Structure 1
Amino acid sequence: MAQPLSPAAAERYAQLQVDIAETYGVQDSTRQFAVEPTITQELNDAITARADFLERINIVLVNEVKGEKVFIGVNGPVTGRTNTKNKDREAKDASGLDNTQYELQDTHSDVGLPYAKIDAWAKFPDFADRYSAAVLKRIAQDRIMIGFHGTHVAPDSDPVAYPKLQDVNKGWLQQAREQIPAQVLKEGKVAGKVTLGVGGDYANLDALVHDTKQMVDENLREDGDLIAIIGSDLLAADKAKLYAKQGDTPTEKERIESMQVIATYGGLLSFSVPNFPVNAVLVTSWDNLSIYIQGSSWRKQTVDNPKRSRVEDYNSRNEGYVIEQLEKFALTENVELLEA
C-alpha cells in the first residue's frame, strides 16, 4: 500500500507550491495557468543556462506558431559599384534559399515526482531549488537530443520505441536531410556508410571535416565563423591514435588529455556536444542553429496524485527547430571507423 507524504515532506511540497505560484505570478499553481511571456523568457534563460551548447545557439521567443525565420542571413556579396550615368543601381537578391519558414509543435515536458523522492529530499531546506534545477537541466538536455535526433512528429510520442525522442519534433539534422540533401553526405564507396581510416573514403578526420566544409556554400565558407561538431566516437578514435603515438611521453599525454593538440580539424575549431550522433560531423556556425518557442504558449500545472503516489508537474509549449541559413549547413553521417 502506498505511503502518504511524511509531515516534513508535506511541508516541503506545500512550500514548493507557494514558490511556484510566486515565481509565475499566480494564485494557485495546482490550476493550469498560462505563463506570461516575460516569465517565459526568464524560464527559457534558466533552461539555456543548464547547457553550454544552448548558450551558444539562438533560443528565440516568437509570436506565431508559423512564420518567417527570425535571422535571415545574406548568402553572397552585396558590395559593388554602378555607373549611374549609364544605368540605375540595382539591389542584389542575396536572401538565400526559398525555404524561410518555421513551424512549431506542441511539446510536453511532464515530470512525476514520487512521494518517496520528496521524502528523501525533505531534509534539504533548498528542496524547491533542487527540484527546479533538476527539471530545467532535463528539459535542456531533451532540447539538444531532439535537435540532433528528431526525425518526425508523432501524435503520441513513444519513448520506448524512440528513446532519443526521435518522434517529438524534426530537428536540425532531419531538416537538412529533407531540405538540402546535396549538403548531407550519407555514403561513399560503400553503400549506406562513409568509411574513415586507411583505405576508406577518408584517411583521417581532418580530411573528413575539410570535405564536409566544402558542402557549405562557397560564399559563406570563408566567413570565419564556421565550426565543426564532431561525434564522440570519431573524436575518441582520433585521440586513441595520438595516445598510441605519443601517450608514453608525460608532457604529450597531458596535452592530449586537455584536448590542446586536437582543438581543430580541417582548419575549423571543433567541438564535442552532448547527444550529438557519435558517428557524424556537422559544419555550420553557432548562430545558424535556433530553437523557437512561442512566447504566449507555455502552460503549467502541478497536481498531487495520490493514486500514483506522486506529484505531477505538467509543462507544455509550442517549440521548433530552425536552421537559419540552409546554405551554411553541411553534414556527414553514417561514418564507420575502419580497423587499423
Structure 2
Amino acid sequence: MRNETRIKFNGYSAQVAKLNGVDSAAVKFSVTPSVQQRLEAKIQETTAFLKKVNIIGVTEQEGEALSLGSKGPGAGRTNTANGHRRNPASRGALTKDAYKCVKTDFDTAFNYSEIDQWAGHPEFQTLLTAAITEQQGLDRIMIGFNGTSAATETDLQANPLLQDVNIGWLQKIRISASTRVMDEGVVGSGKVTIGPNGDYVSLDSLVYDAVQALDPWHRNRPDLVVVVSRDLMHSKLLKAIDNGAKGNQEENAAGEIIARARLGGLPVEDAPFFPDGTVLITTLSNLSIYYQTGSRRRHLKEEPEFDRIADYQSSNDAYVIEDLGLVALVENIQEAA
C-alpha cells in the first residue's frame, strides 16, 4: 500500500469508527441502528431490481411476515338495522409466511494494488463504500432466487450461486405454497414443455394459465409482473430485437423492446440471477428482505500477509413472501421436442 493510500484508508477507517461511536474500526463492533439503516438504503440503491422489492428492519429475529400491502377484498355492507354486526375482514385468515433472520457474512477484500488506484481520487471513501455495498446487493439477489438452505458452513465451490447461504424466495414458495408450483406437465416426465407438441403452445399461454394459481382477488391486479429467465425470453425477443434494433440506436432500441415485452398479458421483469427454465408471477412488492436491527457487525482489518485490506461484515437476514396467495411458480420449462 502506498503512503498516499495509507492516509486515505486511515481516514476512511476513522470515519467509520466515528459514525458508529467506537474508538477504532479495526476491531469488531456493532453497527449503530442509524448507520445500519443508511447502509441498508445504500445497498438497496445499488441495483434497479432491489429498488422494487422491500428491505425492512425487524426487531425480532424470527416471527410471522409483516403482511405488507393489500391482501384481498375488504369492501362490503352490513345491514346493522337487523342487528347484524359489522365484521372487518381478518388479516389473520391469510396464509402467512414465517421468517427467521440468520447470520450472513458479507466479507470483502481489496488488494493493495486495487485501492492504490483509487487513492488519487478525492471520492476515495465513496468508491470504497460503493464497491462494498454493490456486492452485498448482488449477493442478496442471488440468494433470494437461488437459496435453498442455510448451512452451518457454506461451500462456495459446491454452491456458486450461494444456494446454501439462506432460504430464498423461490424455496419459500416450494416449501410453504407447493400447490402454487408447477414443475411437471403431462407430455414429458420431470418438465413442463412449450411448443406445438408440448404442454403449452407458447410461453404466453403458459403464463396465462399459471395466473390461475393465484388467489382469485389477485389475478387481475394491475401491478402483477412475470419474472422470467433469460433463456426462455431469448428466442421470443431475438427476432424482435433483430428487426427493431437498426442503425445508430441499436442498443437503445433493443433495451426498449425488452422493457415493453409482455407474456400472457403481463409485463416482463428481467431479474439478475433468476434460474433458467423458470417463471414467477407475483408483484415485486410481495418480495421482501428482512434484516434484524442492531444485528450488523463490522471489522475493518489490514492483512499484510495477503497484501490486502478486508472488510468483515455480517447481518441477520431473512427472505420473505408477504402473501403466499400472490405467487405462481413454474419450473423445469423446456421446449417440446
Query: Does TM, scored on the shorter chain, surpass 0.5?
Result: yes
Q: 1:55 is matched with which residue?
A: 51
Q: CA deviation at 1:158?
A: 0.7
Q: 1:256 to 1:104 in 2, by over 3 A?
A: same
User: Matches of 2:255 and 2:98 in 1, distance apart?
Assistant: 43
Given that residues 95 and 323 in structure 2 are in contact (C-alpha distance below 8 angstroms), is that contact kept between their aligned partners in structure 1?
no
Q: Of 121, 125, 141, which aligns to 1:124? A: 121
Q: Secondary structure at the match of 2:298?
A: strand
Q: CA deviation at 1:75?
A: 4.1
Given that residues 239 and 256 in structure 1 are in contact (C-alpha distance below 8 angstroms), is that contact kept between their aligned partners in structure 2?
no
Q: Secondary structure at the match of 1:191?
A: coil
Q: 1:6 to 1:242 in 2, by over 3 A?
A: closer
Structure 1 unaligned residues grouped into runs of 5+: none
Matched residue type, 1:327 = G
Q: Of 66, 76, 80, which aligns to 1:80? A: 76
Q: Secondary structure at the match of 2:213?
A: coil
User: Matches of 1:261 and 1:114 in 2, distance apart?
Assistant: 38
- Pair 1:185-2:182 in alignment: yes
Structure 1 residues 196-235: aligned runs within 5 Å: 196-235=194-233
CA RMSD for the aligned pairs? 2.4
Q: 1:130 to 1:75 in 2, by over 3 A?
A: closer
- Pair 1:139-2:133 in alignment: no
Q: Of 230, 234, 237, which aligns to 1:236? A: 234
Q: 1:286 to 1:8 in 2, by over 3 A?
A: same
Deviations 1:234-268 (A, max 9, x none): 11110124357x569879x8866521685221111
Given that residues 292 and 322 in structure 1 are in contact (C-alpha distance below 8 angstroms), is that contact kept between their aligned partners in structure 2?
yes
User: Matches of 2:259 and 2:76 in 1, distance apart?
Assistant: 42
Q: 2:109 is matched with which residue?
A: 112
When structure 1 is superposed on structure 2, of 191-200 and 52-61 the one drifting more is 191-200
User: Matches of 2:245 and 2:304 in 1, distance apart?
Assistant: 59
User: Matches of 1:297 and 1:281 in 2, distance apart?
Assistant: 34
Deviations 1:45-79 (A, max 9, x none): 00000011111111100101012322255544332
Q: 1:21 is matched with which residue?
A: 17
Q: Secondary structure at the match of 2:334?
A: strand
Deviations 1:95-132 (A, max 9, x none): 44444421111111011222222233333332222111
Q: 1:183 to 1:219 in 2, by over 3 A?
A: same
Q: CA deviation at 1:309?
A: 2.1
Deviations 1:151-190 (A, max 9, x none): 0010001111000000000000001001111101111121
Given that residues 96 and 322 in structure 2 are in contact (C-alpha distance below 8 angstroms), is that contact kept between their aligned partners in structure 1?
no
Matched residue type, 1:229 = V
Q: CA deviation at 1:16?
A: 2.2
Aligned residues with identical type, % of pairs: 36
Structure 2 unaligned residues grouped into runs of 5+: none
Q: Secondary structure at the match of 1:303?
A: strand
User: Matches of 2:307 and 2:65 in 1, distance apart?
Assistant: 44
Q: TM-score, normalised by structure 2?
A: 0.91
Matched residue type, 1:310 = R
Given that residues 292 and 321 in structure 1 are in contact (C-alpha distance below 8 angstroms), is that contact kept between their aligned partners in structure 2?
yes
When structure 1 is superposed on structure 2, of 259-268 and 275-284 the one drifting more is 259-268
